[in-house]
Chains A and B, each alone.
Chain A
Amino acid sequence: MDKDINITVKVWRQKGPKEKGRFETYKLDNVSQGSSFLEMLDILNEKLISEGKVPVAFDHDCREGICGMCSLYINGHPHGPDSAVTTCQLHMRKFKDGETITVEPWRSAGFPVIRDLMVDRYAYDKIIQAGGFVSVNTGGIPDANSTPIPKKNADLAMDAAACIGCGACAAACKNGSAMLFVSAKVSQLALLPQGKVEAARRAKAMIAKMDELGFGNCTNTRACEAECPKEVSISNIARLNREFISAKLQD
């Protein structure tokens, strides 16, 4: 049964990208365990506003685990202690009465801090812009059922496509690698006949962009997979490596 708990929250405050950051400590009493983690931060912000202080800036939007906007490092884990959830789906029932909760932004060279808990993840969009698409224009497309796709491949493509681009994988990785993110898109499209046509070009272009943007290499620690809120599998990284090597061999 959910009850009310008293907690201490240590939150990273940083006014701007170039400013020095620090932890601030806040006490919150009688937080319902039925609240989501972000609702707890709403309560904190309401309290700060009522005290004439500046509220904590954090990214959030859909609050149902699909937009990928929320991005908090909670007690040392991206999206907190629960598995297979985003921060907005994390509930206070995962915390104990009297607990101290540490909240930080994503820590990764690829994601500079904007303010407090907000980071800039545009690098992920740039990687997609480099090749994470099928080059088709609108219109003039053959009937959707003209190319049958084995259900198994469609399902595997969907598993990979479930990625929400939140950045937890790179934030969790000691090398700051974006391989899980890149491999999810490369896999999704490589598994489908529509994406096969430019598979080689795609793998090379996305990897080149990822390297250019300062993301690190993969050393198979599997931290990304463990922290991914959508449970995207690192078997996608193996597929990306195959795609990349076969693309290089074609050069």
Chain B
Amino acid sequence: MALLSLAHLYAARGPCDVLHDISLSVAAGEFVGLLGPNGAGKTTLMRAALGLMPARGEANLAMLDRRARARAVAWLPQAREIAWPVDVETVITLGRAPHLAPGQSPGPADRDAIDAAIARMGLDGFRTRIATQLSGGEQARVLIARALAQQTPLLMADEPTAGLDPASQIGLMELFAATAREGRAVIASLHDLGLAVRHCSRVIVLDRGRIAADGRPDAVLTPDLLARVFHISAHFVQGSDGPIFQPLGVIR
């Protein structure tokens, strides 16, 4: 069953459509990289799919009521906002909110989910640390742990690797891939095509609000598409330990 399905989705910002006729579906087990140059509509596509902004067309998540949606999908916005100096465990516990009735406090199942998320993100020593005092990379991990604790079949993340060091970026991509292999699905917008190529099971390329390509990374990222959409040339080979993608230059 498709965890995300969009049919003929249009979204406008002001008088202009920024999404044109988007149709796609994502099933369990997929790790989808959402690619595209700045302004292609990646964030808009995800927010419209979630029902966070007005859109025309069909989006299965947007049609759910807000509590059902919160159990169907976890969303990591690009802005890593933690407004108050709360501790790490408090932030991660917020991920359990959709599973609690009004006034109910977290039970053993919730504790397990929180502990699992903390363990997965390597935050065991951080539980009582104040989240706002952590480094940017540590904060990113805390927020991802919050999304994992939400235990939804689908996880959507807007540029989750931005601002992370190389090891953290690779670690995060491996984590998402593993999550997908466990039978969930992950959709992440990415700028690093090399990371996408190595870790994603599928990439969707957006160009000026339309889907320019959709499929396996090695099938999609052809020199022609790279030139047309990204205006770059690249070196792309199958190495012994997986695909290697290196952008080389800008095509004017």
Same assembly: no
Point out residues on B near A: beta carbons under 8 Å. none
Residues of A within 8 A of B (CB): none
